Amino acid sequence: MLIVMPDLTPIDPAKLRQTVSALAGRFAVGDYDGLCALAQSSRLSAADVARIVRDYGRHLIPLPAIAFDAVSVVPASQRNPRRWSVVVPLWSKEEGRSDLSLELTIEDSATPGYAVEIDDLHVL
C-alpha cells in the first residue's frame, strides 16, 4: 500500500508505478544518462548518480512489486498541474530494500507517466 498523505487530488497509482518503474529500471542496468534523460530536470548529473551508487557499494535491481508499499507520496501543490513529492526506497541484490532512496518531484501530465524532477539520491 502506498503511503499517501490525505489531499483532495489523489495520485494515480498505476501512473505512479509506471513512472517509478521506468526510473528504477535505469538504476538496475547502470544507465544513469538514461535516468537523467527521463527527467524534465535533475539536481544531480549522471556522474553524480554513478558516484553515489558506486559509493553505496551494492548492485541495484528493478523494484519488486512489494517495493511500492514503501513509496511515500506527499502533495506539493494543489494548483494545476498537480505536483507531489515522492521518496522511493531502492532495492539491491545484496539486501533487498536498501537504505538508498531516490527523491523526486512529480507533476501531472497528459502522458502515460508523470513528469519527473530528480531532487536527490542518498542513504537514509
CB 106 within 8 A of CB 114: yes
Q: pTM of this prediction?
A: 0.88
pLDDT tens digits, one per residue of 2-58 = 554 444 567 899 999 999 999 999 999 999 999 999 999 999 999 999 999 999 999
Distance separating alpha carbons of residues 24 and 91, to the nearest angstrom: 9
Extract the C-alpha cell encoding 15.
501512473
* 3-state secondary structure at position 28: helix
Chain CA centroid to CA 53, Å: 15
Q: What pLDDT was estimated at residue 20?
A: 95
List the chain domain ranges. Answer: 12-123
pLDDT tens digits, one per residue of 38-52 = 999 999 999 999 999
Q: What pLDDT was estimated at residue 108?
A: 92
Tell me the average pLDDT across 81-92. 95
- Topology (CATH) of 12-123: Nuclear Transport Factor 2; Chain: A, (3.10.450)
Point out which residues pair with 42 in neighbouring strands.
118
Chain CA centroid to CA 76, Å: 15
